[in-house]
Amino acid sequence: MSDQGPVIEDELQPITEQLREEIIAWIADDPDPDTATELLKYLDENNLFELNRAFQGFLQFGTAGLRGRLGPGPSQMNRAVVARVAAGIALYMRDRKLNSIVIGRDARYGSEDFANDSAEIFAGMGFDVYLLPRPLPTPVLAFTLKELNLDVGIMVTASHNPASDNGYKVYLGKTVDQIKYNGSQIISPSDLEISAEIAKIKSVRELTRLQNFKIVDESIIRRYIHKTASLVKKPGEIKVVYTAMHGVGSETLQSVFRAAGFAQPILVDSQNQPDPDFPTVQFPNPEEPGAMDLAINAGRDWDADIVLANDPDADRCAVAIKDDGGWRILRGDEIGFILGRYLAENFPPTPGNKRVFANSIVSSSLLARIAESYGIDFKETLTGFKWLAKVDQLTFGYEEALGYAVAPDCVNDKDGISTALLLTDLASHLKARGEGISTYLDEIWNRYGFYGTSQISIRLKDLTVIDKVLDFFLTTPPLELAGFSIESIENLAKPRGDLPATEGIRIFLASQGVESSAIKVRLIIRPSGTEPKIKCYLEVVAEKSQAKRILEDLGSEITSLLEKILR
């Protein structure tokens, strides 16, 4: 049920004289002759589609930073936009007496130019600037920010987005705006304040650029490798297949495995090296149908014990396991349950140091029960790791979109490398006693009950139609869904409790019969913060076969309803 639904065409606006002058001024100030020439061509051809796409306002920060399609103009990712963003962040830093910054990048189109431009601009404005030496995983950037005790971190990446996109993640290392960042991504009001500073930049050609920035020493990267490897105390025998999904994770993951004492993973050769075209997958996201097919085929061919996948910037981790004679990709929530139990049992608190687990509102509610059963505090946050990373004394946090923080004191963000290592560690111990991860998961179900989750994702061209969906449920909701009555609807823009406001709705459904009184159904609908999608998250707590049937029926009905609303 992924990426389905109607295609909404953008309404093309005519080019007014005011917009024409804006376009000409942007072309004159563009530091990149390629995007300047591209815009000039669109203007000469009166190409309304491309000009409207390029001039829909300046890119804004979303769930995971600034992210957009590569292309000319203020609405897309290009050197002119990045230069303005860098200069705006520099003004923000200067006002708050933040003096140092580290910049990293993935291997996407434009990433090297965006990182170098940023380093030159920050250096030109007098800051102490560090640049990672080559394309490296996002967790390495987050680690370096904390390890060098710097003020700001920037990662040039679009993570798991299509090849046409790139992005810009911003981290803060200190307490700013009375928010204890501790090396995590920015939230409001910092993002709004940075956006206000960006708006003050009138010309990027007038910015001073210097090249007196420093290249981060390899010893820092080795520290990340060895600190991550130290999570494993007694490595066992295990056969692992690994794919980097055409991203930057392979070199670092192999180094971590070697340092931890595990055998080197079997690599999916066709996806092992960074390739900005992502030629073997439609979307380089392990969640997408078919993205892990090559890795699973390799797992089958090599009779592997476990198959692991990182997304292109290696901050997410997916896993496929042997189950009922075949291979099955675990859901993000299932990985969260597994890691939660494993960390609760094997990483006890030190004296005077309490443990705290957390997950996002769209993730399953089971982690809260696991935490409670081990005497661990639990917190629920908004979607996005920028919120999870703010939880005080966080021990383990996850979101269902394959993001996990298993060592927040090392990387205060999701980390697909350390997650892959801990899953391998667990699988090796289970193998030693003749079991697998499927058995471990069944033990969780047997103790706490079956928590089934699924997701509906509909790709859009016009994001304004999301308001139609939310308004429908808030003003004229259906009486029932898949045989369940609507018990309550919470507008997350006006949340109950201590959650900050966010766009979306949370719906609880009530079963209609004594025999099904133990069934619990939850539904959350919200816009994606990283892609032009509307997402719907379903959770059913019931007997396993019953829960799967309800999820299928509810998913089908919700999909049809959403498509009807979006027409």
Q: Which residues are catalytic?
A: 159
Residue 182 has phi, psi (to 5 degrees) of 55, 40
Task: Write down how long the chain is.
Answer: 567
> What single string gives the DSSP state of each residue in 376-434?
-EEEEE-SSHHHHTTSTTEEEEEETTTEEES-TTT-SS--HHHHHHHHHHHHHHHHHTT
| 174: its two tokens | 């200190």
Contact 270, 101 (CB under 8 A): no
Q: In this structure, what token pair is assigned to residue 42?
A: 């669109």
Tell me 350's DSSP state.
P
DSSP 365-379: SHHHHHHHHTT-EEE
**Largest Cα span, the chain:** 74
DSSP H/E element including 34: helix 33-44
Distance between CA atoms of 511 and 497, rounded to whole angstroms? 25
Q: Helix (H, G, I), strand (E, B), or coil: what is residue 259?
A: helix
User: Strand 184-185 vs strand 214-215: parallel, antiparallel, or unpaired?
Assistant: unpaired
Q: What share of the chain is helix, strand, coil (3-state, %, to 5)?
A: 35, 20, 40
353 exposure class (CB count in 10 Å sphere: 0-12, 13-18, 19+): exposed
For residue 559, give every residue at least 6 positions away whose Cβ sits within 8 Å of its Cβ, in sequence order, or none.
Answer: 1, 4, 5, 456, 458
